[in-house]
Every structure is written in structure tokens, then in C-alpha cells.
Amino acid sequence: MRGVCGDFSTMPLKDLVVHLGNRRATGTLNVERGDVRKQLLLRDGHVITASSNQPREYFGQFLINQGHLTEDQLERAFSTQAETHILLGKILIMTGTVSEATVRTVLSHKFREMLLDAFTWEEGGFDFRPTDVAPELEGLDVSVDLLDVHREGEFRETAWQAIRAVFPSGRVRLEVDERKLTDRKAGSMDERIVQLAKEGLSIDGMALALHATDFFLYQRLYALYRQDALRVSDEAPLPSPEPGAHTVVVVEEDEDDLDSGGVIGSESSSDEVLQAAQLFLDAGNLRDGEALARRAHEIAPTEHTTKLLRDAEGRLLTELRKALMEPSRVPALMVTPAHLKTLPLTSPERYLLSRIDGRRDVAAIVHVSPLQELEALKFFQGFVDTGLVKLTARPLS
């Protein structure tokens, strides 16, 4: 069959999936929306491997989310992978950490979830490029039929309608009636959800803390709601942060220092913001340059803004890796936990700060976090800049 490309406003992904499934297509399917990119390799209408730049869709995160793996075990597996270049699934099986049956099941789940998550996209685009025969892969023989994924997608449309009627936004907080909870097991997903709800996290905050994909979390929330054990709190929903915003701590500013024009990029045209972004990048101010490049792309996305943003992201990522991870640096909190609770932090910031234990370095925390590496490192740089966190070089062993 011929290749096909387009955007989701004219052809939803669920329609493309059934089209490729019916034709038993073989080739590479790329889908993207904004900064999110996914690639799936197809053989005879089946997904045989898939990758994503969303950390919550990494194979290791699925294993953690489903209780098959701890963060420490994943860290050790990553270290072995870096030395041997063996696939993560094979390492986990060889070391006896996870059974082969579990690896196969979770990989199949990962392939399905990556597609089903994108079924709801109304923006973005796709590109399918056929090949005569998909290359053989070194690893486990796992495949998922596209037509099965399509049928699952139809079921989820109905499920989401019921879920959204109860939980209209990820910004809401929840109240728990522990008297209605049944079969509570220490360390279970439901137990962890209950604890996070009692701590006052929003649903979005829970998703970060649990490394959870949207549907996985919401279906558990809905099940607890049906038990009358969980309901939406009457408290006002948490505010929705601006894209790329970093709250960290409130800094008082002198009114005389505030320009009447406000923040660069807030009211400017795309061309003006684009020019400012290029100037900052050329001057070596990568942090502001990346932020402005992102703003220009949000105002009016073009091939030029896409290229500039990706260049800015790549340069900033390199700079932050050198500053925060080379050599290995261990973060330490410079404020008490009680004071930390009073700060106006976003859910991602609270998540990252909660992983600081005086043992793991920045690289280890970022590696197993559900945030993209650049996003997590920008938060860490903000922590250091405001004195919230101090970095100490790990002693050489």
C-alpha cells in the first residue's frame, strides 16, 4: 500500500488505525502533537515495537506503575544496560527481576496505551511510510493487532464519558471516605491513590507521583468513586500553570523594575518573539532563548519555529546536563519539609523534590521520573537558583 500522511483534524488516529489494520500494513507510523512524538513499527497490521519521548510511556515506567518493579531496581537495570547495551526487558529477565511472561504482557500493554492515548488528540499529525518487510527485531516476539486496539478505543470513548462526568478536570482534589474502602492492601495502587488524595494532591499531581497514564489512573479513581470511597472535593481546583511556567518560590520584585510592557512574548507578535529568541540564543542565553522559541512556536507554529525550538531545546539540554549531572551531583534540600509544604509549587516540582533522599544523584532522579529530561532539568536548575536545593559532587569510589 501507499504511504499516507495528514493531520488529526481531518483524519483521527482511530480511523487511521483501522485503515492500516484492515490492509495489514507493514511499515513505520509516526505520530506527533506539539513536543510529543511516538513511533510504531508495524508488521502485517500488528504493532511489533513502539517508542515515545513521553517518559510515562517508557517500558520501565509501565513496570513501576503496575507494581512489577521498584525505582531502585529500574536504576540498577539501567546501569547494566549502559554497560552491556542489552535491551531492558532482556536484562530484567536474565537477572530474574521480572518474569518473561510479565515482560511480554507489559510490552503489549505499552503498545496499546501509546496508541489509545493518542486517539483523543484533535491536533497534531501522522506519517505512515510502508516497507516491503519490517526488519527483524532483537528481543521478545510481542505484537498487538491494530484492529484489537481500534475495538478497545471504541470502548474507551464510552468509558471516558462516564469518567469525565465525575472528574471533569485533572486539577481537582479529592476526598476519601476510608470506611467504604474494601480489600485494602499495603503498597497497592488503590492504597497509594488514597494516600495521595489525603495529602491534598490533585489528579494531575497523582499522575506524576504514580508514573500513571491517564486512563489507568482515572479508571481506578472511577472504581473508588463507585464504591463511594472517593469524591471530588469542594475545594477550589488547583490553578492551571502557564505552559513552561516555573513557580518554585515567590520572589518579591520592586515595582520600579517592572517594565510596562510586561514579559517578553506575552503580547508580542510571533515574528517579534522569534527574533528575540534568536538574539538570546546567539548571545548564549539558552534558558531565555528556549522559552521564547517555545512561545513563538505556540503563537504561530511553522517549520521555522519547529526547527528553532528543537535546536534551542538540544542546546539547553546539553548545557543543563553539564551543569547538573557532569560530574555526578547529589541534591539536598535546604529547607525543612514543613516549610516546603507552604511554598507555591507545581505538581512536577513537588514530585521531583519528593525524590530527593540524599543518596540518588540528579541523573538517577531524572532517569526514573515521568517528566521529560529537559523539563525535569529546568526544574532542578530553578531549585538551585532559588536556594531550595544544593548540589554536592558524589565522592569517587
Say if 200 falls within a structural domain.
Answer: yes
Say if 248 falls within a structural domain.
Answer: no
CA 294 to chain centre: 18
Residues 152 and 178 in one domain: no
Residues 50 and 142 in one domain: yes
Give the chain's domain count.
3
Q: What is the pLDDT of residue 43?
A: 92
- Range 105-133 average pLDDT: 89
Residue range of the domain that includes 120? 4-160
DSSP code, position 368: T
Residues 366 and 387 in one domain: yes
Task: Please state which of the ranges 41-45, 169-173, 238-242 shows the lowest mean pLDDT.
Answer: 238-242
Say if 74 falls within a structural domain.
Answer: yes
- Range 74-91 average pLDDT: 85
User: Taking Cα atoms as reference points, which of 40, 219, 243, 241 lies closest to residue 143?
Assistant: 40
159-186 pLDDT tens trace: 888 899 999 888 899 999 988 887 667 7
Residues 341 and 271 in one domain: yes
**Is residue 59 helix, strand or coil?**
helix
Last-in-domain residue among 104, 135, 160 = 160
Report the C-alpha gap between 298 and 295 in whole angstroms.
5
Instruction: Grade residue 261 by pLDDT with cuts at 50, 70 and 90.
Output: very low
Share of the chain above pLDDT 90, in %: 32
| Backbone torsions φ then ψ of 36, nearest 5 degrees | -90, 125
Last-in-domain residue among 128, 160, 192 = 160
Last-in-domain residue among 113, 140, 160 = 160
Report the C-alpha gap between 273 and 48 in whole angstroms.
42
Cell numbers linked to 198: 489525603
Report the C-alpha gap between 228 and 50 in whole angstroms.
38
pLDDT above 50 for 268:
no
Say if 89 falls within a structural domain.
Answer: yes
Residues 208 and 267 in one domain: no
CA 233 to chain centre: 26
Q: What is the pLDDT of residue 139?
A: 57
Q: What is the pLDDT of residue 317?
A: 93
Residues 331 and 372 in one domain: yes
Average pLDDT taken over every residue of the chain: 83
Q: What is the pLDDT of residue 22?
A: 94
Question: pTM of the prediction?
Answer: 0.67
Say if 237 falls within a structural domain.
Answer: no
Residues 171 and 222 in one domain: yes
pLDDT above 80 for 247:
no
Instruction: Grade residue 130 by pLDDT with cuts at 50, 70 and 90.
Output: very high
Cell numbers linked to 56: 510515562
Element (H, E) at 37: strand 36-43
Say if 280 falls within a structural domain.
Answer: yes
Say if 310 falls within a structural domain.
Answer: yes
